[in-house]
Amino acid sequence: MQEAVASVASCRQPDSHIAWPEYLCSLLGHFLEIVLAFPLPLWYNTDMENTKRTQRTPAEIIAETEARLERLRLRQAKAEAQTNPAVASLMDTKADLAKEVREAKKLLGDGPQSANARIEKHEAWISKIEAERFAAEDVLVEAESSLESVNAEIAEAIQGIVETSKEISIEA
């Protein structure tokens, strides 16, 4: 880099802007020739299309408004139908069936409340309980044998005390 600075100081700089690329190539070598061979366009967005918003025609506005009005009329008819006794029972039946379908899909699905997930959780829980049961059986067997040996020692100690008290009574 110091050599480039020294050569810049020693070389005479060009007077016109047309001679500058050749001058820089002589200083910096072929790298600058590659960069200058593929110049960037001056306007980077010249190929963009004009994407102005187009205004809707009156016919399109009317069609959209009529579709919205039809949706509102349908919503109002559904609300009125719920108060009609003939339709109200059907709406209740529909709601109950929709609930049954939703619960069945939830049970048959892959989520955390699905049957498979619940079975896996319960199997893990059951295996943990079984391990605790096996451990409890081992503890029970060990505790019962220890209890028998302690009871035997207590019986021997009591027997020794009783014999000692009999000997003391006989001597007295």
* Contact call for residues 108 and 114 (beta carbons, < 8 A): yes
Predicted confidence (pLDDT) per residue in 78-98, tens digit: 888 888 888 888 888 999 999
> What's the whole-number average pLDDT of the chain?
80
Q: State percent of the chain over pLDDT 70.
A: 70
- Does 164 map to a domain? no
Q: What is the DSSP string of 109-127?
A: SSSTTSHHHHHHHHHHHHH
pLDDT at 111: 87
Residue 146 lies in a domain: no
Provide Rg for the chain, Cα atoms: 49
Under the banding of pLDDT at 50, 70 and 90, the label for residue 100 is very high
Q: Do 71 and 33 share a structural domain?
A: no
Residue 99 is assigned to a structural domain of this protein: yes
Which spans in 16-114 are helix H? 20-28, 30-37, 58-83, 85-108
Contact 41, 64 (CB under 8 A): no
C-alpha to C-alpha distances, 94 to 81, 82, 98, 138, nearest whole angstrom: 13, 12, 6, 57
Structural domain boundaries enclosing 16: 2-37
For 88, residues 6+ apart whose C-beta sits below 8 A from its C-beta are 81, 82
Q: Is residue 172 part of a domain?
A: no
